[in-house]
Chain A
Amino acid sequence: MTLGRRIAGRVLSGALVLLAAITLAFLSVHVAPGDIVDIIVGDQIPAPEVEAAIRAEWGLDRPLIVQYLSYLGRVLQGDFGRSYMLQTDVFPLLTGQLLPTLKLTAAAFVVAVVFAVVTALLTAHRPIGGRIMGGLELFLVSTPSFWLGIVLLYVFSFTLKIFPVAGDRSFSALVLPALALGLSLGAVVAQVLRQSLERALEEPFALTVRSWGAGEGTLRLRHALRHAAIPSVTLAGWLIGGLLGGAVITEQVFGRPGLGRVTVDAVLSKDIPVVLAVAIFSSAIYVTLSTAVDLLCLALDPRIRTGGR
């Protein structure tokens, strides 16, 4: 199979998943018990003109398939309807909050990857270092990111007063949230990466490189790491999903603005239009990022790229 077809296949399957997510969002409103107007409006009692507006917006007097197609069309044009609870359109509400969340997610991603690569490189096949880091990783994996965040807040913000307690004004406000979110997920990646690095170091090519007289550092950094990275890259989708979900809680811990706060408020007040939009939005982010990582994987592994064995 050629590279072009592979790329097209990945992108297409990403688009299909996204379509399915939108379909599920649409169906969930119809499947959920109760009248659709009540579901959309939430816990308040709808005024007659609001009810009429919802019926018109969703086209409730038309057949289901027409409703579905028009919903699909609206979503694809970026029209996620109106939140009758917040008295605002949903799309600008979300896009306005997108940037802080993406910043946090990206920073945490960097933390996770750097942590995983550094610990794996330093501790693969090192009995003592490996055990210590193994213990630390077990601790980090088992610690909820929000609890880690509270510990970091206590130590670095309240006691040492190095980082701000809340907000998103400066770069330093990003450090602790990114650490809290990135470390607990990075620990999982580190476990996988170290295992595959250890396996790579036992492969014949490692012996070959050693026989050239290359140092251990060169071997690990230039030859083994790239080889070992491939199994962990498949974790990337999981990592991105975990980061997006974890960001909701981390934003709450650190009082950061972002999609997380919008989501939590919407869920607690049953503001369904916003909840659905968040679901579609986040699956769009997820699909886009993980497709990008898949394509990166193609660049990393010549065997997949050429479609060889």
Chain B
Amino acid sequence: MTLQNAFDIPRGPGPLRRALRLARREWGAALACLFLLAVALGAAWPQLLTGYDPVAADPLAAQLAPGAAHWFGTDHLGRDIFARVVHGARYSLLIGASATVLAMVFGTLLGLIAGLARGLLDEAISRFLDVVSAFPDLLLALVLIGFTGPGTVNLIFALGVASIPRFARVVRSQTFVIAQSGYVEQARTFGLPRWKLVTRHVLPHAIAHVPIMATIGLGTTIIGSAGLSFLGMGPQPPAPEWGAMLSEGRNYLRNAWWIGAWPGIAITLTVIATGVIGRRWQAAFEGRRG
């Protein structure tokens, strides 16, 4: 056997083919990824997908059924609904993602502190979380908005605060388990300083679940933000937020179903996509852990 032969192992398929093969096996997740990419594109460069202005009224073209000129039809003011749905992606994704990140950061911090400190501080934080979760999420957000007033930033704040306990609880119990595990014990016997122990050995494992939870929770947050915007607590008109569009569409249901239909479909598909990806990720994660 020559050296030449040793390197002559059959080469695997190229990256593109490998991706295609993966996509065929995981077609659900692949489809979800594609859809979310499209939504993200709509959020980042809506002008790429539509030429219409989402807020420009055109009374002459009011309540047109879906057709060649207006793919999704037009609303009661003659605004193009496709343009509004595409531009609306920015609100839904921005609000959903910001609120989730807010909850993720503060929830993780609270959970870490509670899990590491134990004792009285842990007790205090845990009881506080219990009380906050005793309010239904949506009602808690509503009460917060009662103080701050409606608006995009206030909505993000309210939704984010309402979801903090979800993250804090999981991170706390994970931290608890890991801080007591054998390898941390061993690292401690090596005389590692506490901050190093925490940042290098506890933290990475304690927060391993957090991005997955965030992906799955993103759907819930998007539904929550659409619901609160539906009630008028979110971005104010004429902003093309999906929930707010649905609430306008509800009033025109009798003669123009399409005003309410498309934003609703957009919400459902986006939430399904995040859910599918989140669960697939979770399954992969748990499979790797054994």
Check if B182 is an interface residue, CB within 8 A of chain A: no
How far, in angstroms, from A266 to B134 measured CA to CA in the complex? Answer: 21
Given A241-B136, A253-B250, A264-B232: A17 and B130 interface contact (C-beta under 8 Å)? yes
Interface residues of A in 113-159 (CB under 8 A from B): 138-139, 141-147, 150-151, 153-154, 158
B272 and A249 contacting across the interface, CB-CB below 8 Å = no
* A177: interface (CB < 8 Å): no
Whether the pair A144, B134 counts as a contact (CB closer than 8 A) is no
Q: How many residue pairs, one in A and one in B, have C-beta atoms under 8 Å apart?
A: 137
| Interface stretch (choices B64-72, B74-82, B110-118, B139-147) | B139-147
Q: Does B204 contact A (CB under 8 A)?
A: no
- A24 B142 Cβ-Cβ under 8 A: no
CB neighbours of A153 from chain B (8 A): 250, 253
Q: Is the CB of B233 within 8 A of A268?
A: yes
Tally chain B residues at the interface, Cβ within 8 Å: 41
CB nearest neighbor in A for B142: A267
B268 touches A24 (CB 8 A): no
Cα distance A268–B148 in the bound complex, in angstroms? 10
Chain A residues with Cβ below 8 Å from B271 are: 142-143
Cβ of A111 within 8 Å of any chain B Cβ, yes or no, is no
Judge if B231 is at the interface, Cβ distance under 8 Å.
yes
Q: Is the CB of A248 within 8 A of B143?
A: no
Interface segment among B16-24, B100-108, B183-191, B219-227: the answer is B219-227
Q: A248-B142, A268-B150 are in contact. Are A283 and B253 (CB under 8 A)?
A: no
Number of interface residues of A (CB under 8 A): 48
Q: Is B29 an interface residue (CB 8 A)?
A: no
B246 located at the interface, meaning its Cβ lies under 8 Å from any Cβ of chain A in the complex: yes
State the CA gap A287–B136 with chains docked (Å). Answer: 11
**Pairwise interchain contact B135-A283, C-beta atoms closer than 8 A:** yes
Q: Is B89 an interface residue (CB 8 A)?
A: no
Q: Do B253 and A154 touch (CB < 8 A)?
A: yes
Distance of A139 Cα from B265 Cα, bound (Å): 11
Complex contact B143–A142 (CB within 8 A): no
- Contact mask for chain A residues 265-288; partner B; CB cutoff 8 A; 1 contact, 0 none: 011101110011011001100110
10 residue pairs bridging A and B, Cβ less than 8 Å apart? A144-B223, A144-B243, A144-B264, A150-B264, A240-B136, A244-B136, A248-B142, A270-B149, A279-B135, A279-B140
Identify 8 new A-B residue pairs, CB closer than 8 A, beyond the known A17-B131, A20-B127. A142-B272, A143-B264, A145-B227, A150-B249, A153-B253, A244-B136, A267-B150, A282-B136
> Which 10 A/B pairs are nearest by Cβ-Cβ distance?
A245-B138, A241-B136, A275-B146, A142-B271, A147-B264, A245-B136, A20-B131, A142-B272, A267-B146, A17-B134
